Amino acid sequence: MSSSNWLYTDIVKEHFINPRNVLENEETYKEDGKGIVGNIKCGDQMMIVIKVKDDIIVDCKWKTYGCASAIASTSMLSEVVKGMTLEQAYHISPKDITERLGGLPEHKIHCSVLGDKALRAAINNYYKRTGQEHRIGKEEVRIICQCMNVTDKDIDEAVKNGARTFDELQFRTKISTVCGQCRGDAEEYLHQSIHLYGDG
C-alpha cells in the first residue's frame, strides 16, 4: 500500500510496525523505576520501566494496551530518553514526541499523552526506591482560566469528582465564565483529563 493514504505519518507507521524497546521479559527485568498510568476503560494504559546509572537513564522499556499512536509515541519516547539525565527526561512533553513523529491526527493526540506521564511516574518511583523523595517532582501547575484562576489540577480534581462534560466542569470550577477565551484550552484539557482519570 502506498503510505500517502495512511492516517498516520511514515514515522508513526514505522514505529507501529517495528516498535522499539517493548518489555518482553517482565518477570526477569530488573528495573530501577516503574510507572503505570492510564485506564483501560478509556482504551489505553501505559507501563514504563527504566534503568538508571549515575542519574542517567540507561535503559527504558514499555508495554501498552493502546492504539497505533500510543504504541508509536511510546516507542519513540523510549528511544529519546535513553542517555538523558533524569532531570531532562522529567520534562519531556507529549509535544516533543509528537513533533518527532511528524505529527499525529488531531483526534489522536490524546492517545499519546500517557507516555511522558508514565515516564515521570517511573522516575518518581526511582527516586522513592533510592531514598531521594525530596527530588520527586511536583507536577507543574498550569493556569487554564486566567479570569477565575482555574488550573489543570483543578480540572483533574473536578474530573475525579465526576465532571464529564464542559457544563459539569463549569458548574464545579466556574471556568471560562468571564471572558470565555480559555474555553478551547479548557475543553481540550478536560478531554485529556477524562482520559486519565475518567474511570472513577
Site membership for another protein, residue 111 (CB under 8 A): yes
Scanning residues 14 to 43, which ones bind another protein (CB under 8 A)? 16-17, 19, 22, 24, 36, 40-43
Q: CB–CB of 199/41 below 8 Å?
A: yes
Scanning residues 68 to 97, which ones bind another protein (CB under 8 A)? 68-71
Nearest-angstrom CA–CA distance, 55 and 84: 9
| Number of residues this chain uses to bind another protein (CB under 8 A) | 32
Q: Which of 66, 156, 158, 173 binds another protein (CB under 8 A)?
A: 66
Nearer to another protein, 111 or 169 (CB): 111
Active site residue 67: no
Active site residue 147: no
Q: CB–CB of 64/70 below 8 Å?
A: yes
Closest Cα partner for 64 from 105, 22, 13? 22
- CB 108 → another protein: shortest distance, Å? 8
Catalytic residue among 60, 67, 111, 145: 111
Nearer to another protein, 147 or 185 (CB): 185
Site membership for another protein, residue 63 (CB under 8 A): yes
Residue 45 to residues 32, 71, 92, 132, Cα–Cα distance (Å): 20, 11, 19, 27
Nearest-angstrom CA–CA distance, 163 and 75: 32
Q: Which of 31, 32, 35, 44 binds another protein (CB under 8 A)?
A: 44
Nearest-angstrom CA–CA distance, 44 and 71: 10
DSSP 194: H
Residue 141 to residues 66, 138, 180, 195, 199, Cα–Cα distance (Å): 27, 9, 20, 18, 22
Site membership for another protein, residue 64 (CB under 8 A): yes
Q: Which of 9, 56, 65, 160 binds another protein (CB under 8 A)?
A: 65
Site membership for another protein, residue 162 (CB under 8 A): no
- Alpha helix locations (H) across the chain? 10-17, 68-81, 86-90, 94-100, 114-129, 152-160, 166-173, 183-197
Active-site residues, by number, are: 42, 111
Task: Summarize as ranges the residues that interact with another protein (CB under 8 A).
Answer: 1, 16-17, 19, 22, 24, 36, 40-47, 63-71, 107-108, 110-111, 191, 194-195, 198
